[in-house]
Amino acid sequence: MEEGLIPYVSVDCVIFGFDFEKLNVLLIERKVDIEGTVFRDMKLPGDLIRYDEDIDASASRVLFELTGMKNIYLEQFYTFGSVNRIKEKTRDIIWLHSIDHPEERVITIAYYSLVKIESREISEAKIVNNASWHAITEITELAFDHREIIDKALEALRNKLRTQPIGFELLPVKFTIGQLQKLYEVIFGTRLDKRNFRKRIASIPYIVSLNEKQKGVAHKPAQLYKFDKKKYSRSKTEDLYFSV
Amino acid sequence: MEEGLIPYVSVDCVIFGFDFEKLNVLLIERKVDIEGTVFRDMKLPGDLIRYDEDIDASASRVLFELTGMKNIYLEQFYTFGSVNRIKEKTRDIIWLHSIDHPEERVITIAYYSLVKIESREISEAKIVNNASWHAITEITELAFDHREIIDKALEALRNKLRTQPIGFELLPVKFTIGQLQKLYEVIFGTRLDKRNFRKRIASIPYIVSLNEKQKGVAHKPAQLYKFDKKKYSRSKTEDLYFSV
């Protein structure tokens, strides 16, 4: 084996949440002191992998430490490993020095995660960890290559949604067709025709209408639906496609 | 930063090739001397990442060293990082000792690659590097977790094929619809209806019929087609789906 330096390995997590209006990502504020002036930007939650820890376990740990939640939907989607990925911007280099992070190379294994934004643990995350939700369309300055990581996560989420109905992880257990349509619209960044969408949904056997309507809404209460796991597992391949 | 050991990082490549009959993977023979008896199995081509090398460049280097080819279709699909992934089988541990590989943990970033099997460089690869093609349905004993890596590569290839026509990377520039159908059948491990397949292909604007037929075949020569990159880049999303 070749002698020499070895890159460090980390995990980073893109945590998606849907608030019925926008697709959001949970980010951590980072403060960088540049010659006495504090510069603030955002970063993804992440950490170095421990030597005795499987990589999936490492991502779960990062999520748990941030949100207090276990068993969240988590999917590894890409590994980012260009040589200078954490050393391209001055503020990144200054920040790495300030936290005593050695200047070695870091390869990061990226995961995306889908959470129900209204859950108690998630809504408290902001207070506990200096983390907050940011609409994906409004994210500006990010640390390192984290913008690229989020873009790739969104691409991976879109590809996954085309063959698996994982969008339900982002919705409450009971949801309306309007909410489901809005979710697809914000993920794919496009408007969908209401009538065609309803027709397509009606043809999917694992989206089940409940004998129940919305409560406490100002507008006319809409029919509630749920995702039926059993019916989904029995579905034929052609029912799994959702082309947007 | 935490003190302690750091996992090594490697790349492994699943090189797919299609011989008009089967889907094949290029594997390297490994000999393990277990108490005087030589045990032979196969492994994926791979190597440790160099400290000054981007991970994609590392995968390209592995491919070039094995096949002499550059600019091959290459796609990162998953990173395998369970703590004991290279230390679960006795013969793996013996082999690691024999090549003086330290017993540290190795995380591997896996790529799949699509090559035209009939190309000159690929057909010579066997002689140069102790590598040979193996039908994916007939692969038996593999080193480490390489079976799992191949299975995951095939899953990634299937998912990709559902939204991008990358199968053309595995075919000659001019191909018949029969060859294209066979390619989809071996990748998805299923039989397809000939008439439906032809109907679907006829509706895809970027698969273009050539004014040319097969030559030197024993059966009735079939019409030749090509993949039109320009037409593909102008295609609408709905033309890109191929549900099998």
Q: B44 pLDDT exceeds 70?
A: yes
- Interface residue A237 vs chain B (CB under 8 A): yes
Locate the domains of chain A by residue range.
Answer: 8-164, 171-239
**A27 Rama class: left (phi>0) / alpha (psi -120 to 50) / beta:** beta
Does domain B8-165 fall under CATH 3.90.79.10? My reply is: yes
User: Which residues does B174 contact at the CB level (< 8 Å), separation at least 6?
Assistant: B210, B212, B224, B225, B226
Interchain contact, B241 vs A243, CB within 8 Å: yes
User: Which residues does A208 contact at the CB level (< 8 Å), separation at least 6?
Assistant: A225, A226, A227, A228, A231
Q: B156 pLDDT exceeds 80?
A: yes
B contacts of A79 (beta carbons < 8 Å): 55, 76, 79, 109
Tens digits of per-residue pLDDT, B51-86?
Answer: 999 999 999 999 998 888 888 899 999 999 999 999
Separation CA A200–CA B106 (nearest Å): 46
- Interface residue B163 vs chain A (CB under 8 A): yes
Interchain contact, B51 vs A101, CB within 8 Å: no
- Interface residue B161 vs chain A (CB under 8 A): no
CA angle A11, A17, A19 (to 5 degrees): 165
What pLDDT score does B128 carry?
A: 66
B contacts of A238 (beta carbons < 8 Å): 243
Scanning every residue of chain B, which has its alpha carbon at the shortest distance from the alpha carbon of A109? B79
Tens digits of per-residue pLDDT, A6-42?
Answer: 899 999 999 999 999 999 999 999 998 888 999 999 9
Mutate to test the interface with A, among B56, B79, B82, B88 (most CBs of A within 10 A): B79
Q: Which amino acid is at A3?
A: E
User: How far apart are the CA of A213 and the nearest CA of chain B, in angstroms?
Assistant: 34
Tens digits of per-residue pLDDT, A155-177?
Answer: 999 988 887 888 999 999 999 99
Q: Which two tokens stand for residue B77?
A: 């699909």
CA angle A82, A86, A88 (to 5 degrees): 90
A contacts of B163 (beta carbons < 8 Å): 159, 162
What pLDDT score does B1 carry?
A: 39
Separation CA B17–CA B25 (nearest Å): 6
B contacts of A55 (beta carbons < 8 Å): 79, 81-82, 107
- Interface residue A3 vs chain B (CB under 8 A): no
A contacts of B111 (beta carbons < 8 Å): none
Interchain contact, A1 vs B102, CB within 8 Å: yes
A contacts of B75 (beta carbons < 8 Å): none
| Residue B98 pLDDT level (bands cut at 50, 70, 90) | confident
DSSP string, B213-241: E--S-SSPPPEEEEE-HHHHHT--GGGS-
A9 burial class (0-12, 13-18, 19+ CB within 10 angstroms)?
buried
Interchain contact, B76 vs A76, CB within 8 Å: no
Q: Which two tokens stand for residue A169?
A: 């992880």
DSSP string, A17-69: EE-SS-EEEEEEEEEEEETTEEEEEEE--EEEPPTTS-HHHHHHHHHHHHHS-
Q: Do B212 and A207 meet the contact criterion of CB atoms below 8 Å apart?
A: no
ipTM of the complex: 0.90
- End-to-end Cα, chain A, rounded Å: 48
User: How far apart are the CA of A179 and the nearest CA of chain B, in angstroms?
Assistant: 24
Separation CA A148–CA A168 (nearest Å): 25
- Interface residue B8 vs chain A (CB under 8 A): yes
Q: Residue A198: enclosing H or E segment and its boundaries?
A: helix A194-202
CATH class for domain B171-239?
A: mainly alpha
Does domain A8-164 fall under CATH 3.90.79.10? My reply is: yes
What pLDDT score does A1 carry?
A: 39
| Residue B120 pLDDT level (bands cut at 50, 70, 90) | low
What pLDDT score does B214 carry?
A: 92
Residue from A115, A108, A104 nearest A12 by CA = A108
Please tell me if the domain spanning B8-165 has the same topology as the one spanning B171-239.
Answer: no
Separation CA A122–CA A92 (nearest Å): 28
A contacts of B102 (beta carbons < 8 Å): 1
What pLDDT score does A141 carry?
A: 86
